[in-house]
Amino acid sequence: MSATPLAGRLVVDLSRLLPGPLTTRLLADLGARVLKVEEPELGDPVRSAPPRRAGTGSLAALLLAGVESVALDLKERSGCAVLEALLDHADVLVETFRPGTLERFGFSAERLRTRWPRLVVCSLSGWGADGPYAARAGHDLTYQALAGSLASTGSMPAAPLADLVGAWSAATAILAALLERERTGRGTHIDAALFDAGVHANLTAWAADAGPRPHPVGEPLPLTGAFPCYDLYKTAEGDLLALAALEPHFWRRFCTAAGRKDLIGKQYSRSRRAHEKVAALIRRRTRAEWQDLLAREDIPAEMILTPAEARAHPQTRARGVVTDGPDALPRLAFPARFDGERPRAAARVPAHGEHTLALLKEFGLHGYEVARGVGRRFSWKRLLARLTRRL
């Protein structure tokens, strides 16, 4: 099997920020050609997300490398006309507007289905196309809050889980729709919601909540610190150790190797006293001492690493998922291999609107002024003048 199974597929990307661009980034990693449509004046905000190096933002390096940037103003008829021409050749359209916005641009679900019947359309929104929250503003933190995934710790999440899982679920749905099109010849309109992804990702909580009583906010679940055998502890230097001796044979091996067989019966205890005993045990040894003992006994426990330490770790280096681009900013390769071959991480981040004129020529479009303002420095004065003209 080729490491570029989507070669020959064309994706038009109307998204911005994190979930949509990650969705199309995954498709690009698999070989699809991605045309990223950006607003002419400002472009995708990820371009300006710090830290920046040589004019490139680190988030943009991770999300936009390898795509082609097209500057179109969809509020103008010329921009919509160019989008129509792109869709004439596209296999997939990805958009992240609030429900109803694409229709206001003249691309209703019915028109998309009628004019481009083979097109796979993925509408990735925060709350989904229906429900009382459909038009409500939101971000990853609010999706996770309402999905219940923050309740077991009552603290800020370590990663934007709804955004990330939402992107992966959207990419999975697109792949399934393309496969279905091979059978039926028809495209599909996918309604993907980040909130739905957050709910789905909370599956261990749904299992735990089926117990005799509901879990209040701040009460840990089995996999979020409820058990002494599966929690975070400080070593003698104060470094954090992630202990994951969830199975009885691992816990028994840990307690025996640490010289505390008396703790074997406390593996699934929910008492604070049991946690405190394990915490005191971990504090007695240094980071290096624990690493040596745990590796020797093959116990699932690892030190918590910083991102820099994680990138330098031998396992990370061996797997080759994180690499450096020509701008010395990180790139992420697709996290799976095909017959031993991993799809290559794209290197170059396109300039804002860089491919607009070339694509107009490629698709035989002439006389459209869609690149106005691209490549100029951002100007609040120019933006205010533009808004004033529209008012």
Q: How many residues does the chain have?
A: 391
- CA dist 67 and 366 (Å) reads 23
Does residue 385 have a pLDDT over 60?
Answer: no
pLDDT tens digits for range 108-122: 999 999 999 999 999
Q: What is the pTM of this model?
A: 0.89
Give residue 209's pLDDT.
82
163 is catalytic: yes
Mean pLDDT of 142-148: 95
- CA dist 195 and 162 (Å) reads 7
- Cβ atoms 67, 35 nearer than 8 A: yes
Lowest mean pLDDT among 55-64, 254-263, 293-302: 55-64
pLDDT tens digits for range 92-103: 999 999 999 999
Give residue 367's pLDDT.
64
| 202: CB partners within 8 A, 6+ apart | 147, 148, 149
Q: Enter the tokens of residue 46.
A: 């990820």
Per DSSP (E only), the strands in the chain are 10-13, 33-38, 52-53, 56-57, 68-71, 92-95, 120-125, 189-193, 230-234, 240-244, 301-303, 322-324, 330-332
Does residue 160 have a pLDDT over 70?
Answer: yes
pLDDT tens digits for range 45-77: 999 888 888 778 899 999 999 999 999 999 999
- Kindly report each contact of residues 267-273 with a partner whose C-beta sits within 8 Å and lies 24 or more positions away, as own/partner: 267/227, 267/228, 267/229, 268/227, 268/228, 268/229, 269/227, 269/228, 270/226, 270/227
Q: Enter the tokens of residue 127.
A: 């709350």
pLDDT tens digits for range 208-217: 888 777 777 8
Taken in order of first residue, the domains within the chain and their CATH numbers are: 10-201+324-390 (3.40.50.10540), 222-234+240-303 (3.30.1540)
> Which of the following is catalytic: 29, 91, 163, 231?
163
